[in-house]
Each structure stands twice: as structure tokens, then as C-alpha cells.
Chain A
Amino acid sequence: MNETIIVGYHATNRDNIQAIINEGFIESKANKGHWLGKGIYLFENLYYAIEWEIIGVIKHNVDSYDEIEKKCGILAVDLDADNYKIIDFSEPQGYAIFERLLQLIKNNYTKEKYEDILNKGYAYIIKVLENLEKQNNVKYLSRYDVICAVYPKYISKQRTHLPGDFIPCVQKQICIKNKNAIKNIYELKHSDMTKGIFRLITNNREEKND
């Protein structure tokens, strides 16, 4: 029987790699700019995991891949999508939950208050749902083992808004709420492929800063 596996990538300090493979992940705190709440964060696309090595692990621009090879590593994580519940907010079915809550807020507050809440972003709305869960003892999002969402990444300066223009360079984040959904963790070794992606990232980051 074919299994449905979702693969995500996690960038981390080289010293953490073996510990995570042996003992598993520690959850990230929700207040560290993680927009899907507490959990273990992965990127669907290896590009963003390698970029995270630069901006999240080393925390400054690097000129050569050597520094990344010395200080960082990437873990590939297989998630069991057959036996665990996954919601993707960027798909219409998943987004329906957001829409329903936003509609509830709109019906109960003034236009100004509604817009004020909307302007705080979707991370805020997720927090509202989490607090409603605690209060009401009802599972809204916590019934899910994994939550995913797609974010825009304005990598290229070229922007047009014509019909038929696809959305370039979106970043899918995967937040694991239940570690049991992890089927397998293994190190993705540094290779010509990862070096090639690094060169692309460096090029894109330079162009963006021009």
C-alpha cells in the first residue's frame, strides 16, 4: 500500500543534528516569529531551509558555502500524512476556518475594530483560536497534528499583476504540533545540490538589496 509522506526541511546548528536524530525535536516557542503557534517548524522547500541557515542560524550574510558547511546542517523530516491530521490554511478547505472566524468577528464588532483586528495579521487570529480553545474547552486547531500555510516571499523585484501571472516563490511552512506524526528524521548532507541552491540564494539576496 502506498504511504502518503510529506517531507519538510529543518535548518539548525551543526551541533544539534545528531542530538535531534537521536532524541527528537524540541518545540519552538511561539513568540519567536513563528506564525503558526508553538511547534516544530519545517520548510517544504529546501531553498528556504538553506536560506534559514544564513538568516536564522549564522545570522549574518556569508560569502562562501564553507561557513555554512562548518556551522549548519539540515534535517529532512518525513511526516505520516495517512494516520495523522493535517490542515493547510492556504487551501480553500483550510482557509474556511479563518473565514468563518473573521465573519464572526465582523458580525460582532464595529468596522474599525474589525479592521484593527485584521491588520494584526493571521498569526493574531490563530492566537485568538488558541485562546478560545482554552476558554471553551473545545478543540478547534489542536485537533490537528500538523498545520501548514503558504507565505509570499518577495524574492524578485519584478512584479506584475496580470491575469495568467503565477505567484512566484511562495514559502510553505509546516508546523508539527504532534511529534508522533514524524515518521523519520535524517540528515541531508551538504552536496553540489545544496551549494547550487546557496549560490541562487546569494544571488537573489543581492538583487533584492540593489
Chain B
Amino acid sequence: MINNPKDIEDILKEIDKITFDQLDKAIKETDKEFEQMLYNYQEEIFDNTQSTISAMKNNEYNTIESQQIEVTEIADIIDIQETIISEEEGENRTWMKEKVLVA
């Protein structure tokens, strides 16, 4: 049952019996534990932040890898273009030699 009135009434009567000494002792104990709880919570926030940073770094690394692959592909294209230019220049030189020889 949810919020049984009889149970709640019993608890309220018990709370009324609590002495100052008992309350003070419980509060002092809670102060010690609460500091530790907050410290652990801060650690968890820190851990979560670190996880997020790692995930971001992984994403960056994957991006950098992709960019490196792109660069390699572009370099390959440049190589091919240079080869074509060399071959064309080679053809031109051959033609020039032939012209000279004829003259």
C-alpha cells in the first residue's frame, strides 16, 4: 500500500520521541558521510567528463585518420598527374630533337 496513514502516524510518533542528543549525534554522523558522498559525486562528475573527453578524442582521431587517407589519395592523384606531365614533356622533347635533326 502507498502512504499507509497508520504507518505514517507511527513514524511521526517515533520522531517525536527523538532526543536532542540522538538528533545531534545523527547530524554529526551525516555531516561526515555527506562530505564523502559529495566528494564521490564530484569524482563521478570528473569521470563522466573524462569519458566525454575520451569519446571526443576518439572522434577526432577517426576524423584525423580519415583526413590522412584523403591526403594519401590526393598525393596519389598528384603522382599520376606528374607522370602524365613528364610523359607529355618527354614526347615534346622527342619531337624537338626530331625537328633539329631534320633541320
Does A associate with B in a complex?
A: yes
State the A residues within 8 Å of B (CB): 30-33, 59-60, 81-82, 85-88, 91, 93-94, 96-97, 100-101, 104-105, 108, 117, 120, 123-124, 127-128, 131-132, 135-136, 138, 140, 143-144
A-B contact count (CB 8 A): 93
Q: Contact: A93 with B1, CB < 8 Å? A: no
Given contacts A93-B8, A131-B25, A135-B25, 5 further A-B contacts (CB under 8 A): A59-B51, A87-B8, A124-B34, A128-B23, A143-B11
> Given A128-B26, A135-B25, is A31 in contact with B15 using a C-beta cutoff of 8 Å?
no
Q: For B5, list chain A residues within 8 Å (CB).
A: 93
- Interface flags, B9-36, vs A, CB<8A=1, else 0: 0011011101010111111011001101
Q: Is the CB of A143 within 8 A of B7?
A: yes
How many residues on B have C-beta within 8 angstroms of the other chain's C-beta atoms?
34
23 examples of A-B residue contacts, CB within 8 angstroms: A30-B37, A59-B51, A59-B55, A60-B52, A85-B1, A85-B4, A88-B2, A88-B3, A93-B3, A93-B5, A94-B3, A96-B8, A96-B12, A97-B8, A105-B23, A108-B24, A124-B34, A127-B30, A131-B26, A132-B22, A132-B26, A135-B25, A143-B11
Checking A33, A86, A117, A138 against B1 with a beta-carbon cut-off of 8 angstroms, the contacting residue is: A86
Among A31, A123, A140, the most chain B Cβ lie within 10 Å of the Cβ of A31
